[in-house]
Amino acid sequence: MTELLQQVRVIDPVSEIDGLFDVLIADGYIQAVTSHICDISSDTQIRDCQGLVLGTGLVDLYSHSGEPGFEERETLLSLLQAAAAGGFTRVNILPDTSPAIDNPALVAQLQQKREGQGGNFSPPSPLSSPLPLLHLWGAITLDVAGKQMTELADLASAGVVGFTDGKPLENLALVRGVLEYLQPLGKPVAFWPSDRQLTANGVIREGSDALRFGLPPIPASAETTAIAALLELVATIGTPVHIMRVSTARSVELIALAKAAGLPITASTTWMHLLLDTKAVKSYNTSLHLDPPLGNLPDVAALRAGVRAGVIDAIAIDHTPYSYEEKVQAFAEAPAGAIGLELALPLLWQYLVETGEFTALELWRALSSSPAECLGQKVSAIVPDQPAEVTLFDPQQTWKVERKSLYTLSQNTPWLGQQLKGHVVQIWC
């Protein structure tokens, strides 16, 4: 099919373009991007795209899948459908499934399932879009238990995108060994720095709101001391590292200093940590129980400034589905995490771009080209002769977040039942 998108707003962080263009897409490639395209074939489908945004495909650095092991929370199919509905063309799954993604056989099995060779992916993806590309993080330790290193070289050969447990690794001798072993493999490695002894049984960031709501606190030092230790190892060994789930102002400072000193690090925060602070926990909605917890107001301000400045390279979704029964508990007892693949772009656009705090390019870069770069990948620019890996977004379309409007199987989000502005029209990938 040949499609002409007329007068669409092109946001391309690769080429640093934000402007109105006609875009011609044919046979999966961008054919032309100019102010006006008049010479087209008779079978070209013409779409009036005034008011719509066409951006490079969104890339989610890390999210959780229920499958294998917890298919009642999320299947690979429902996750990919949700990602497509949220504008993502690439999704990277954390290895904490059951069984964990810690051996080449499971990597091959999941890759075959995505390709339709080992399972049923015949149901159409949302909006007649293709399903996003699925990549798998390989576990650093067996069963993501933090004790015994996996066969990292075998997993690398099997095609994992990189290595992480997605959980804190507190054995620094093990972390050092991993950094030394991974150096020649050339695969990204991501760590979530968190001192679980300092975290203890806390569920909210330490501060006045923690006292007001009567919830056990987590000090910022639970994150910052772990980051400082990791940075020392990186400075000693030199293996590039990605720091996941940055959530405090002091962490942003430490990362900025490390980057200024030339350490080979990248970093990400999650979309909810950019939008909400501890005051939101007043509702005791268990979908606001996150790990790391939401920050105080200065943390949110520092994270936003860090993303804009490039100190925080990328915004991750960290989509974490749970069943209704798992989340209907006391706040402190409910498992930590919330869904987000279908919600992140509309909410970030509404509260960061439309308010003028972020430019459209700044937000799109943090959701698209920058997360790809953290993985050693690239996204295609929206220029002629490049593959069409793009997202068409309507920032003005309104919709209600409810079961029938979500592709994900789980509903653990604080925005359930609310009206949102901004909806993805289609992806190409």
As a whole number of Å, the CA-based R_g of the chain is 21
Terminal Cα distance for the chain, rounded: 14
What CA–CA distance (Å, rounded) separates 62 from 166?
Answer: 9
Q: Which residue has the tokens 């006006």?
A: 36
Q: Which of 22, 299, 318, 394 is catalytic?
A: 318
The two three-digit tokens of residue 375, written as one number: 């993985």
- Token couple for 345: 């772009």
Q: Which residues pair with 33 in a beta bridge?
A: 23
Q: How far apart are CA 60 and CA 370, in angstroms?
A: 10
Beta bridge partners of 9: 20, 53
Q: Are 281 and 338 in contact, with CB atoms under 8 Å apart?
A: no
- The answer to whether 195 is a known catalytic residue is no
CB 323 within 8 A of CB 78: no
Alpha carbon distance 10, 25 (integer Å): 13
Cα 367 to Cα 340: distance, rounded to the nearest angstrom: 13
What residues are labeled active site? 318
